């Protein structure tokens, strides 16, 4: 707090925290509304797909906009348009016109706005806080995201029976004003890109040209590139479980218990974010992968029992190291990429991390509804055998089996990467490449 430059970041951080807290309320309400309206996992998964696709489809444009346009204006405009989408949703709910397809469309549009806002905001951080505070600022953002994950679900779960989805969306709309105001009152410095023929190319040309440049940049960073690819596969596994946690819990419990489960793993992210904001470590990748093995163990624990307490405990283990890993990745990018390229490279990394997420969204619902749930019924092929005796049978047990399989895969990947990082000296390679950059 003695750093005057870092002090200016505090109001922005607080404003974004309030804004994402409101978004967490409406997001939770939508997930409950979808499951109560359909009673199946597939529509739940399709809502995740609509939220994931824009990050993959529009990353080239988002990165170019972040580097070639005013980042402050991008943040304000996208927040304002997202607030308008919330008004539209409230009107549809009031008139009884909200349907699944309209929810999917609104989610897609809202996620598109977030896709453009994310690179602009993340690329602004180094120049807002200074080189010496990048890790701390990223840790604080992870901390605020974790706090939202802790507070929003239990608050929304308690409020939903009384004010419904419409009330939660109205609260979300009100929080946008706080986020927009703090950005509007803060100066966000930005280095401009200059070059020959800058005005002669269209934004479409810039987008594809910038994407190719960002991809070539990452490929030259072989260790960092492989690190991102591995995280993409880990995201694929994690996304399947994140899609199915709602149907697995709501199949046996109400929205209050679902909110409690989300709050428990929100506490885990809060603790992890607190550690990441104080002691972000950019050196020991082997130790990080070793600790992330706990995430795989957590998925196994969550899928092992139909009772909500073991499910919550398993998700706590799974999420405990997520803020640390995210802070590590963001800090590596911020310290190894030129400021004028941060938007483009950041958008490309985001696209690579999420490129397999749509496959997870498409696969999760049918795998649960059509394959594993029937198999884990009392008269199913697995329910009557050892799997049924270990995991139980009935509603949600197919999803539990998927959790166990994903947990074993995730733990195996982390252990392999831990061994490889220790044997081949990946941390040293990354540090050397960063120094050359």
Q: pLDDT tens for residues 345-366?
A: 777 787 788 778 788 878 888 8
What the block records as the tokens of 152 is 């929003």
Q: Given this model, what pLDDT does residue 405 score? A: 92
What the block records as the tokens of 203 is 């934004």
Calpha distance 297→410 (Å, rounded): 8
The band of 10, judged by pLDDT with boundaries at 50, 70 and 90, is: confident
> Residue ranges of the domains in the chain?
4-186+211-436
The band of 287, judged by pLDDT with boundaries at 50, 70 and 90, is: low
CA-CA-CA-CA torsion sign (42, 44, 50, 56): negative
Residue 26 · residue 169 · CB < 8 Å: yes
Average pLDDT score over residue span 17-26:
87
Q: What percentage of the chain has pLDDT greater than the value 90? A: 10
* The residue count for the chain: 437
Q: Given this model, what pLDDT does residue 139 score? A: 74
Q: Given this model, what pLDDT does residue 437 score? A: 44
Query: 102-106, 148-152, 196-200, 356-360 — which is least confidently predicted?
Result: 196-200
CATH 1.20.1250.20 fits 4-186+211-436, yes or no: yes
What the block records as the tokens of 290 is 């070793």
The band of 282, judged by pLDDT with boundaries at 50, 70 and 90, is: low
Contacts by residues 411-416 (CB-CB < 8 Å, ≥ 24 positions apart): 411/293, 411/295, 411/296, 411/297, 411/300, 412/296, 413/230, 413/233, 413/234, 413/237, 413/296, 414/234, 414/289, 414/290, 414/292, 414/293, 414/295, 414/296, 415/289, 415/290, 415/293
pTM as predicted: 0.64
The band of 207, judged by pLDDT with boundaries at 50, 70 and 90, is: low
Q: 3-state SS of the chain: helix, strand, coil percent to 5?
A: 85, 0, 15
For residue 1, pLDDT beyond 60? no
Calpha distance 433→427 (Å, rounded): 10
The chain-wide mean pLDDT, for the chain, equals 79
Top-ranked range on mean pLDDT: pick from 125-129, 200-204, 276-280, 311-315 = 311-315
With CA atoms as reference, report the closest residue to 221 among 387, 372, 429.
429
Q: How many CB atoms lie within 10 A of CB 96?
A: 7
Q: Given this model, what pLDDT does residue 3 score? A: 66
Q: How many CB atoms lie within 10 A of CB 409?
A: 17
Q: 347 or 239, which is more confident?
A: 239
Q: Given this model, what pLDDT does residue 208 score? A: 66
Query: 4-13, 89-98, 187-196 — which is least confidently predicted?
Result: 187-196
Average pLDDT score over residue span 237-265:
82
For residue 248, pLDDT beyond 50? yes
The model's pLDDT over 332-341, given as tens digits with 9 standing for 90+, comes to 777 777 766 7
Query: 86-95, 211-220, 237-246, 322-331 — which is least confidently predicted?
Result: 322-331
Three-class DSSP category at 241: helix
Average pLDDT score over residue span 373-385:
84
Q: Which residue has the tokens 């010496």?
A: 132
Q: Given this model, what pLDDT does residue 92 score? A: 93
What is the CA 139 to chain-centroid distance, rounded?
Answer: 15
Calpha distance 204→200 (Å, rounded): 12
Calpha distance 334→428 (Å, rounded): 18
The band of 378, judged by pLDDT with boundaries at 50, 70 and 90, is: confident
**Element of type H or E holding 237:** helix 222-250
The model's pLDDT over 97-118, given as tens digits with 9 standing for 90+, comes to 889 899 999 989 988 998 888 8
The band of 326, judged by pLDDT with boundaries at 50, 70 and 90, is: confident
Q: How many CB atoms lie within 10 A of CB 34?
A: 24
What the block records as the tokens of 174 is 């009100």
For residue 190, pLDDT beyond 90? no
Q: Given this model, what pLDDT does residue 339 score? A: 67
Q: Given this model, what pLDDT does residue 313 score? A: 92
Q: Given this model, what pLDDT does residue 291 score? A: 73
Enter the DSSP assignment of 437.
-
Average pLDDT score over residue span 190-198:
56
Q: Given this model, what pLDDT does residue 105 score? A: 93
Calpha distance 29→20 (Å, rounded): 14
Average pLDDT score over residue span 180-200:
68
Calpha distance 418→423 (Å, rounded): 9
Q: Given this model, what pLDDT does residue 430 score? A: 43
For residue 68, pLDDT beyond 90? no
Calpha distance 406→242 (Å, rounded): 11
Q: Which residues neighbour 256 within 8 Å (Cβ) at sequence distance 6 or greater?
A: 157, 158, 161
Q: Which residue has the tokens 């793993």?
A: 265
Q: Given this model, what pLDDT does residue 408 score? A: 93
For residue 229, pLDDT beyond 80? yes
Three-class DSSP category at 81: helix
Average pLDDT score over residue span 196-214:
58
Average pLDDT score over residue span 209-232:
78
């Amino acid at each position: 707090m003695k750093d005057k430059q870092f002090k200016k970041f505090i109001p922005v951080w607080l404003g974004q925290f309030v804004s994402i807290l409101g978004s967490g309320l409406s997001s939770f309400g939508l997930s409950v509304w979808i499951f109560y309206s359909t009673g199946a996992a597939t529509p739940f998964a399709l809502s995740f797909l609509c939220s994931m696709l824009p990050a993959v489809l529009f990353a080239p444009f988002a990165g170019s906009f972040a580097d070639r346009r005013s980042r402050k204006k991008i943040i304000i405009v996208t927040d304002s348009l997202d607030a308008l989408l919330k008004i539209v949703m409230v009107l549809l709910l009031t008139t009884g016109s909200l349907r699944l397809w309209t929810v999917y469309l609104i989610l897609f549009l809202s996620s598109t706005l977030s896709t453009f806002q994310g690179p602009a905001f993340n690329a602004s951080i180094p120049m807002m806080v200074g080189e010496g505070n990048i890790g701390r600022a990223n840790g604080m953002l992870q901390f605020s995201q974790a706090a939202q994950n802790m507070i929003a679900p239990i608050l929304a779960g308690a409020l939903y029976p009384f004010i419904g989805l419409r009330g939660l969306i109205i609260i979300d709309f009100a929080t946008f004003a706080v986020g927009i105001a703090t950005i509007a009152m803060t100066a966000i410095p930005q280095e401009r890109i200059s070059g020959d023929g800058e005005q002669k190319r269209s934004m479409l040309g810039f987008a594809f040209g910038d994407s190719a440049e960002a991809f070539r940049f990452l490929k030259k960073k072989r260790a960092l590139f492989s690190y991102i690819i591995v995280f993409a596969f880990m995201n694929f596994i994690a996304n399947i479980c994140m899609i199915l946690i709602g149907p697995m819990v709501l199949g046996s419990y109400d929205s209050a218990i679902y909110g409690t489960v989300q709050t428990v793993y929100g506490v885990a992210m809060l603790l992890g974010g607190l550690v990441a904001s104080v002691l972000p470590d950019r050196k020991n990748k082997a130790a990080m992968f070793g600790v992330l093995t706990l995430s795989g163990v957590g998925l196994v624990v969550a899928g092992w029992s139909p009772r909500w307490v073991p499910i919550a405990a398993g998700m706590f283990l799974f999420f405990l190291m997520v803020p640390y890993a995210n802070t590590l990745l963001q800090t590596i990018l911020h310290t190894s990429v030129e400021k004028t390229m941060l938007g483009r490279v950041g958008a490309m990394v985001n696209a690579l991390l999420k490129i397999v997420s749509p496959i997870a969204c498409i696969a999760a619902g049918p795998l649960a509804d059509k394959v594993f749930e029937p198999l884990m019924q009392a008269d199913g092929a697995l329910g009557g055998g050892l799997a049924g005796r270990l995991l139980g049978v009935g509603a949600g047990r197919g999803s539990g089996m998927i959790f166990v399989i994903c947990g074993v895969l995730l733990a195996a990947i982390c252990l392999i990467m831990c061994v490889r990082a220790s044997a081949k000296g990946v941390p040293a390679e990354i540090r050397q490449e960063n120094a050359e950059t």
